[in-house]
């Protein structure tokens, strides 16, 4: 194929990718408005737009509208936006983890972060150990700290033996089992109320979402994703080539795994400390994105994030409404949706995986 045809094909693909990203953004906005509107309280789309406009313009609502605006602004919007941010962060983290380990079956939780976070939360709930353990903030903080501790152990061990993809994965799997055993031990000795609270946390839920959590994740994800995008060309090389080739083009693979992995750890630990364990988003969304836009990380990262946000938003909306007024935790719903999707992806792309 001539150089001119290659340029035309590249421009055509770039245009298609831009169109697809725009379509995903539009779909996400529409689904966000619908998700805020649906629920046990009857709210129209018009009321959603009015409430947002009043809030942004500083207009005080009429007394008859105050209840609706409180439901929208203080309950549903923080929950919906937190879900979108969690989906974006976990999906982007999954994309990066799969690239730096060159393993399509890796997720943000492969290095044991979810098991460590669950142990940190259980330690606060059951044993009362940690910073302000008997408060919601304390549980979140202890889960976050334990995730970071797990990541430090993984990186310390991996660095000792060369920071290879295999070292990261195997150390993470071992620590995942270890923290899982510690969590099971705490649950075994917990009383009925403590056990219920601990298990509820591990389900993964957006209940109790606040604007403080939303703002904090906006800052963390808003700093993390641009940093990952900066190294998109490095991720392109690491996802498709061995360490020897990467070294030959001037990239230090161990150093890059450390830097990029640290960003992923902070993003993932921050998300799961607020939401609990939400699986499959960071595993499924990157694969769907690759099928649609390819492996160029300048496009793959944003598309994966948008798909993850849409997937988690839809899952939470289903969980809130399917058995209303009972709310099914989003971690359960995402597994029902994610498992069939992932199995289908394996069947469709089995030649690449096996």
Q: pLDDT at residue 205 above 60?
A: yes
Annotate the chain with three-state secondary structure: CCHHHHHHHHHHHHHHHHHHHHHHHHHHHHHHHHHHHCCCCCCCHHHHHHHHHHHHHCCCCCHHHHHHHHHHHHHHHHHHHHHHHHHHHHHHHHHHHHHHHCCCCCCCCCCCHHHHHHHHHHHHHHHCCCCCCCCHHHHHHHHHHHHHHHHHHHHHHHHHCCCCHHHHHHHHHHHHHHHHHHHHHHHHHCCHHHHHHHHHHHHCCCCCCCHHHHHHHHHHHHHHHHHHHHCHHHHHHHHHCCHHHHHHCCCCHHHHHHHHHHHHHHHHHHHHHHHCCCCCHHHHHHHHHHHHHCCCHHHHHHHHHHHHHHHHHHHHHHHHHCCCCCCCCHHHHHHHHHHHHHHHHHHHCHHHHC
Alpha-carbon gap, residue 36 to 81, rounded angstroms: 10
- Report pLDDT for 304: 96
Residue with the larger pLDDT of the pair 131 and 238 = 238
Averaged over 234-239, what is the pLDDT?
A: 90
Averaged over 331-345, what is the pLDDT?
A: 83
Q: pLDDT at residue 169 above 60?
A: yes
- Report pLDDT for 90: 95
- Report pLDDT for 182: 93
Q: pLDDT at residue 353 above 90?
A: no
Residue-wise pLDDT for 40-61, tens only, equals: 777 888 888 888 888 888 778 7
Sign of torsion, CA 180 183 188 194? negative
- Number of Cα atoms under 13 Å in the Cβ half of residue 205: 15
- Report pLDDT for 352: 58
Per mean pLDDT, which of 9-13, 103-107, 131-135, 232-236 is the most reliable?
232-236
Residue-wise pLDDT for 80-134, tens only, equals: 999 999 999 999 999 999 999 888 888 888 888 889 999 999 998 888 887 777 7
Residue with the larger pLDDT of the pair 159 and 329 = 329
- Report pLDDT for 181: 94
- Report pLDDT for 63: 72
Per mean pLDDT, which of 26-40, 52-66, 325-339 is the most reliable?
26-40
Kindly report the number of other CB atoms within 10 A of residue 251's CB atom. 17
Contact present, 90 and 127 (Cβ < 8 Å): no
- Report pLDDT for 349: 65
Residue with the larger pLDDT of the pair 22 and 280 = 22
Q: pLDDT at residue 29 above 90?
A: yes
What structural domains does the chain harbor?
3-353 (1.10.3470.10)
> What mean pLDDT value characterizes the chain?
87
């Amino acid at each position: 194929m001539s150089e001119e045809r290659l340029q035309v094909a590249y421009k055509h693909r770039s245009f298609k990718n831009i169109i697809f990203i725009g379509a995903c953004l539009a779909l996400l906005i529409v689904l966000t408005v619908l998700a805020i509107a649906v629920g046990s309280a009857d709210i129209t789309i018009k009321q959603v737009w009015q409430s947002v406009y009043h809030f942004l313009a500083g207009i005080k609502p009429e007394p008859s509208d105050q209840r609706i605006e409180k439901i929208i602004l203080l309950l549903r919007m923080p929950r919906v936006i937190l879900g979108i941010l969690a989906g974006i962060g976990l999906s982007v983290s999954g994309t990066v983890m799969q690239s730096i380990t060159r393993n399509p079956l890796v997720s943000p939780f492969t290095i044991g972060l979810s098991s460590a976070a669950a142990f940190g939360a259980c330690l606060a709930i059951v044993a009362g150990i940690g910073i302000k353990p008997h408060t919601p903030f304390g549980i979140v903080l202890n889960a976050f700290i334990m995730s970071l501790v797990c990541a430090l152990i993984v990186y310390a061990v991996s660095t000792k033996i060369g920071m290879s993809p295999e070292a990261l994965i195997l150390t993470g799997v071992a620590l995942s089992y270890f923290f899982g055993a510690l969590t099971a031990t705490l649950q075994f000795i917990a009383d009925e109320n403590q056990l219920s609270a601990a298990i509820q946390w591990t389900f993964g839920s957006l209940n109790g979402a606040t604007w403080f959590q939303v703002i904090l994740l906006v800052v963390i994800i808003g700093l993390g994703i641009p940093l990952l995008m900066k190294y998109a060309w490095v991720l392109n090389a690491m996802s498709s080539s061995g360490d020897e080739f990467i070294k030959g083009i001037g990239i230090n693979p161990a150093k890059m795994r450390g830097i990029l992995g640290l960003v992923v750890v902070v993003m993932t630990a921050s998300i799961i400390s607020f939401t609990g364990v939400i699986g499959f988003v960071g595993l499924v969304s990157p694969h769907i994105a690759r099928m649609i836009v390819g492996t160029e990380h300048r496009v793959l990262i944003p598309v994966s994030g948008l798909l993850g946000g849409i997937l988690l938003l839809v899952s939470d909306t289903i969980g809130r409404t399917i058995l209303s007024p009972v709310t099914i935790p989003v971690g359960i719903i995402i597994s029902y949706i994610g498992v069939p999707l992932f199995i289908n992806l394996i069947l469709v792309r089995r030649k690449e995986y096996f």
